[in-house]
Amino acid sequence: MDNKELIERIKELKEEKNAVILAHTYQRPEIYEVADFIGDSYGLSKKATETDADIIVFCGVDFMAESAYILNPDKTVLIPTRLANCPMAAMVDVDGLREFKAKYPNAAVVSYVNTTADVKAESDICCTSANAVKVVNSLEEDEVIFVPDSNLAHYVMRHTDKNIIPWNGWCYVHRKFSPEGLSRAKAVRLNAKVLVHPECIPEVVDLADEVCSTTGMINYVRQSSDETFIIATEIGVIERLRLEFPDKTFFQAPPGGTCLQMKKINLGLVLEALEKEQFKIKVPEDIRVRAKKALDRMLDVD
């Protein structure tokens, strides 16, 4: 089947089975064609609480699909491949986090949604790149353990008086953007606005006109009268911006970056997921209930 046929068949099956497709912006552009909603981690978690579909097909990485299940245990939540795993989410485990908590008994634990369900279950509250500062500042505690992304933790430090204790995790895609490369790109394109994802290193964040989540970037461009942008995040955002704003010009910050795990999903796998109702996401109930508390608390902050 070619892409056109795959798209038609996926749309038919979605209707037949009362299924909805939620897709992260880092997905391949052809996935956008079958998606009912495209967004960032925050928007996707919110959407997952609002849908009345029986089946959610999640086109994103493992932790995102897991969050959709945690929030919707009565629905069938599918991920089209078991290989779409975020390496950053695997950088913190429960044993390590418990040791950290024992060292800082008065600290609240904020876990980025890029974590496994059992780590969320050990946390007081979750956050995404869109609301991390707001979540941290909503807490009563003055001390905060922040897992797993140390770059996002350092970004939060700039916007809070709280003592942030970062875990040493990172995203291999965002860590590669370099201040030297970005400075050179800015020097060549003097009128370009620079948008940076907070998973980038602090020296890259220093060069930003705006630091925002993936959806934050799209919203920024929508309201901006600027015409040229340099974007420090995964290539999917640049592809989506080029589709949505064909009259504006977008450059990815050097040296560029692609999330290989996000690209493991394709239209063929989405069709198979719907046909065979695979691969089902499940989380043990005791963990799910505790993880849901941390996610719900985050959703209540906004």
**Which spans of this chain sit near ligand 13P (rule: CB under 6 A)?**
40-41, 114, 128-130, 171, 199, 213-214
What length is written for the chain?
302
CB of 208 or CB of 259, closer to ligand SF4: 259
Instruction: Tell me the three state secondary structure of residue 43.
Output: helix
Q: Report the C-alpha gap between 40 and 240 in whole angstroms.
A: 12
Residues 1-60 that bind ligand SF4 (CB under 6 A): none
Stretch that binds ligand SF4, among 68-76, 85-93, 99-107, 291-299 (CB under 6 A): 85-93
Which two structure tokens, joined as six digits, stand for 59?
A: 């086109």
Q: Report the C-alpha gap between 76 and 74 in whole angstroms.
A: 7
CB of 51 or CB of 128, closer to ligand 13P: 128
Cross-sheet strand order for the sheet of 228-232 = 210-211, 193-196, 228-232, 249-252
The nearest distance, CB 198 to ligand 13P, in angstroms, is 8
Residues 60-79 that bind ligand SF4 (CB under 6 A): 61
CB of 40 or CB of 107, closer to ligand 13P: 40
By CB under 6 A, tell whether 88 contacts ligand SF4: yes
The nearest distance, CB 262 to ligand SF4, in angstroms, is 6
By CB under 6 A, tell whether 173 contacts ligand SF4: yes
Closest CA relative to residue 149, chosen from 183, 119, 121, 124: 119
Closest CA relative to residue 42, chosen from 71, 76, 19: 71
Chain centroid to CA 216: how far?
12
By CB under 6 A, tell whether 128 contacts ligand SF4: no
Please report how many Cα atoms fall inside a 13 Å half-sphere around the Cα of residue 145, on the Cβ side.
24
* Site for ligand SF4, rule CB under 6 A: 61, 86-88, 114, 171-173, 234, 259, 261-262
